[in-house]
Structure 1
Amino acid sequence: MKLLGISGTIIGSKTEVAVKKTLEYMNEDITIEFINLKDYDLEFCDGRPISQYNSDTQELIGKICVADAYIFGTPIFQGSFTGALKNLFDLIPPKAMKHKVVGFIATGGTFQHYLVVENQLKPIAGYFRSYIAPGNVYLNDSHFNSNKEIIDEDVIFRLKELAVEMEFMQKQLDKKSSIEVVR
């Protein structure tokens, strides 16, 4: 199983911390790669074929296409996920994430922002026909200390639980794919 942990922002570090913390809880037999959108010169989606975008954009979309599962992290700004993450979703070919497991982590300044995962991110995963892990995690500013370390034990438990769910779901899908589907 190849899992991508993606921090879907070009500023701040709390989302990166939360995604990386979740990746720490994955089993050692999983191939894990952390992707920070800050590290890519991702071009703005304008409908061209991926082969006509710059090398950073092509590289990132290529990694997404070959991965088996994803954890997308985003801060919540103005009641929505980042434009950088939306641009990434716009660039991903519709079939690239089909029947693959997706988990979401969001960070924000108010407790109400957790609804962005339910109302905005899950429908996008549905469009891609992905399988959504049920234990998505929202972290409020109060869950971090001044060094931007996660200090809330319940949040740490939920990040661990998300890792377990992602692994379980992918293993079940791997079993299913070895069974021939009869129409």
Structure 2
Amino acid sequence: MKLLGISGTIIGVKPISIVEAVLKEAQNYDPTITTEILDLTQFNMEFCDGRPITEYNADTKKMIEMIESADCYIIATPIFQASLTGVLKNLFDLLPVSALRNKVIGFAATGGTYQHYLVVENQLKPIAGYFKSYITPEYVYAHREHFNNRNEVIDTEVAARIQRLGIQIVQMTNALKHVVTAK
């Protein structure tokens, strides 16, 4: 099983910090899984404009390939202006509809207010539903006060949610791998 962590931002480090923590917890639970990180700061992604994927630059094609080859995901985003980042939305727009079908997604978000967790419920989960993905019951929302000055999670409840999320992604992917659906 390959778990791909996606940090859906080109600025800031809190989302990648949570992605890394979830990947670590998933591997602690099941050391046989492989993990990989898609950190959007490391790629030159083009804007989605309707071209066939083959006509985009190498970085954009590589990102889509990484997503299509994974079995499950942890996707994290900071919340800006009460929404997911534009760069993460662009990534979703670039994906073929089948890229995430029948795959498990866990979400994480960071923000500056305690109400921004609603972005997971009202924006990210519907996007996963559009892709016909399975969504973990657990997700992580972390406020800036939940981190120390090295951007490490210091809040025990957030750390417990990170652990549960890592485990749920693995358990759900294992449980659903034999589900056969019509094409």
Q: Quick check: TM above 0.5?
A: yes
Matched residues in 2 for 1:64 and 1:11: separation? 21
User: Which residue number in structure 2 is paired with residue 41 of structure 1?
Assistant: 44
TM superposition score normalised by structure 2: 0.95
User: Which residue number in structure 1 is paired with residue 164 of structure 2?
Assistant: 161
* 1:149 CA displacement: 1.1
* 1:75 CA displacement: 0.1
Matched residues in 1 for 2:58 and 2:119: separation? 31
* 1:175 CA displacement: 3.2
* 1:7 CA displacement: 0.3
Cα deviation code 1:42-93 (max 9, x no counterpart):
0000000110000000011011111110111000000000000000000010
**Which of 50, 62, 81 is the aligned partner of 1:59?**
62
User: Which residue number in structure 2 is paired with residue 21 of structure 1?
Assistant: 21
Matched residues in 2 for 1:164 and 1:150: separation? 18
> Amino acid of the residue matched to residue 31 of structure 2?
E
User: Which residue number in structure 2 is paired with residue 109 of structure 1?
Assistant: 112
> Amino acid of the residue matched to residue 125 of structure 2?
K
Q: Given the alignment of the two structures, is residue 79 of structure 1 paired with residue 86 of structure 2, yes or no?
A: no
Aligned length: 179
**Deviant stretches of 4+, over 6 Å:** none
Matched residues in 2 for 1:175 and 1:129: separation? 16
Matched residues in 2 for 1:149 and 1:167: separation? 23
Structure 2 residues without counterparts, runs of 5 or longer? none
Q: Given the alignment of the two structures, is residue 89 of structure 1 paired with residue 84 of structure 2, yes or no?
A: no
**Secondary structure of 1:73 counterpart:** strand
> Amino acid of the residue matched to residue 115 of structure 1?
L
Matched residues in 2 for 1:21 and 1:58: separation? 27
Q: Given the alignment of the two structures, is residue 136 of structure 1 paired with residue 103 of structure 2, yes or no?
A: no
Cα deviation code 1:118-165 (max 9, x no counterpart):
000000000000000010110000100112111001111100000111
**Secondary structure of 2:106 counterpart:** strand
Q: Given the alignment of the two structures, is residue 122 of structure 1 paired with residue 122 of structure 2, yes or no?
A: no
Matched residues in 2 for 1:85 and 1:96: separation? 15
User: Which residue number in structure 1 is paired with residue 173 of structure 2?
Assistant: 170
Question: Pairwise CA RMSD of aligned residues?
Answer: 1.1
**Which of 141, 149, 161 is the aligned partner of 1:146?**
149
Structure 1 residues without counterparts, runs of 5 or longer? none
Matched residues in 2 for 1:34 and 1:28: separation? 17
Matched residues in 1 for 2:45 and 2:117: separation? 27
